[in-house]
């Protein structure tokens, strides 16, 4: 596709339920990132994929959060037993490999707005 696609655009869930957020990166981009943005806050790094492996998952807030990427393309971020503090916009971005193209910018999707009630 022309850009990074995320689904759903909005998700309302009850506390304690599991949610899955999907990201479809720009074709050919080997690097994929998940960030989250809470109201009035900056973008908080969650996890980075290079291909299907995740060399940096240092930003995942707890073991309730996990992510995977298959076929070097689509990624899914899963939040188990959601809590109200998980409410935020979850943004996915993709880029060329920063090791090969150091000035390669991140291209963001429109995000998934998650509300935990």
Residue 82: CB atoms within 10 Å: 21
Binding flags for other proteins, 4-33, as an x/- string (CB under 8 A): x--------------------------x-x
The sign of the dihedral angle between the CA atoms of 117, 36, 50, 7 is positive
User: Residue 16 Cβ, how far from other proteins at the closest point, in Å?
Assistant: 28
Q: What angle do CA 73, 78, 84 make, to 5 degrees?
A: 140
Q: Which of 26, 91, 114, 116 binds other proteins (CB under 8 A)?
A: 91
Tell me the CA distances in angstroms from 83 to 14, 15, 35, 37, one per residue in order.
8, 5, 18, 16
48-67 footprint of other proteins as x/- string (CB under 8 A): x-x----xx-xx--------
- Residues within the interface to other proteins (CB under 8 A): 4, 31, 33, 35, 40-43, 45, 48, 50, 55-56, 58-59, 91, 98-99, 102-103, 105-111
């Amino acid at each position: 596709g022309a850009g990074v696609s995320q689904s759903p655009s909005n998700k309302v869930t009850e506390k304690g339920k599991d949610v899955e957020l999907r990201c479809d990166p720009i074709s050919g981009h080997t690097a994929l990132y998940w960030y989250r943005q809470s109201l009035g806050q900056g973008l908080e790094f969650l996890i980075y994929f290079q291909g299907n492996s995740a060399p940096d998952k240092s930003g995942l807030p707890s073991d309730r959060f996990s992510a995977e990427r298959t076929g070097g393309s689509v990624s899914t971020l899963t939040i188990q037993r959601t809590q109200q503090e998980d409410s935020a916009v979850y943004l996915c971005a993709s880029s060329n490999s920063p090791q090969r193209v150091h000035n390669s910018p991140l291209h963001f999707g429109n995000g998934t707005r998650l509300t935990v009630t």
